[in-house]
Amino acid sequence: MCNPADIHIRDTWLHHLSVNKGLSKHSLRAYRTDSQGYLEYLHEQDTPLNKSHKNVVRGWFRELLAPPRGGKPISASTLSRKRSTIRNLHQWMILHGHGKIDPTSNITLPKIPKRNPKFMSIPEAAKVVENPSQEGVFQIRNQAILEMIYGAGLRVSEVANLNVEQVDLKQCMVHVVEGKGKKDRIVPFGPPAAIAIQKLLNGPTHPNVGALFLNKFGNRISTRSIWQICNDSGKENGVFGLHPHAFRHTCATHLLDAGADLRSIQEQLGHSSLSTTQRYTQINTAALLESYRRAHPRIDRSDDDG
């Protein structure tokens, strides 16, 4: 149960995020889930949303990190996301006259270790993409999906939302319509992806119009199904824990290794900030350092195990 007035404020805020900020359905779902937990806690504490304060927020965080009924505590990264959610909510409330303070300000959280994106080697990526899961027409479809994620560096939602007319097989270009932040971009992909997509379109069941990637019922494939395809294809080729982001990160890393500049990679991936793209330089630098230590004649490797 939640206070109806609080629910109205929260729903108006979510509408603002959807219409004015152009957040994806996935992001909106996360914002709704996080804020719902917060509103339920406020209701338990008999505290209206516009009267929330730091002690209430700290109490919610303590309960999330150490659930009173023996539940599983959340991770530091999830807690950080939840704080970001309710901070956004309270700052919007202040801006629109629904509140006067942001109770999340100056509340410290556990430090979260930075993790570089996971990526595959070139042989691993080639093996997975060329030998996807399933058989027959679905294997053809899956290869086209993996080739597009790896070849163009698209997000999983962008792949699922592709229509046939957005892909130029002659020019090897794809028009991403309303990607993250509802931004359009046109990016290249490689000939292997063009060959895989052409094979898919030449199949007996594809209508050649509308959604490019279809499920077994002939409807647009879901992002959940693409996640499963990535994971299953990885398992069948001895590469475990794969997800669409891993293919996207692999695309960026291999572009960087081949000499592409960060600005070009930023445009390819559709990052709004160059700092997001710069994560890949950390991977590239680490690999370079390791190669240097193995190969340079002036490195004394006799102490490596000491």
280 has catalytic annotation:
yes
Q: Which of 82, 141, 180, 206 is catalytic?
A: 180
**How far, CA to CA in Å, does 191 sit from each of 14, 129, 155, 169, 232?**
41, 13, 19, 8, 24
65 close to 20: Cβ distance less than 8 angstroms: no
Q: b/e for 118-134, b at 16 or more Cβ within 10 A?
A: ebbeeebbebbbeebbe
Residue 25 to residues 22, 38, 184: CA-CA distances in angstroms? Answer: 9, 20, 17
Instruction: Determine whether 271 is an active site residue.
Output: yes
Q: Which of 280, 294, 296, 301 is catalytic?
A: 280
Of 10, 83, 90, 248, which residue is the catalytic one?
248
Q: Is 270 in a helix, a strand, or coil?
A: coil
254 is catalytic: no
Strand partners, 174: 167, 187
Beta bridge pairs of residue 142: none
Beta bridge partners of 176: 185
Q: Exactly one of 54, 175, 245, 279 is catalytic; name it.
A: 245
Site of tokens 């994971």 = 231
From the candidates 10, 98, 155, 249, give the one annotated as an active-site residue.
155
Question: Rounded to whole angstroms, how far apart are CA atoms 179 and 157?
Answer: 8
- Active-site pick, 54, 175, 271, 279: 271
User: What residues are labeled active site?
Assistant: 155, 180, 245, 248, 271, 280
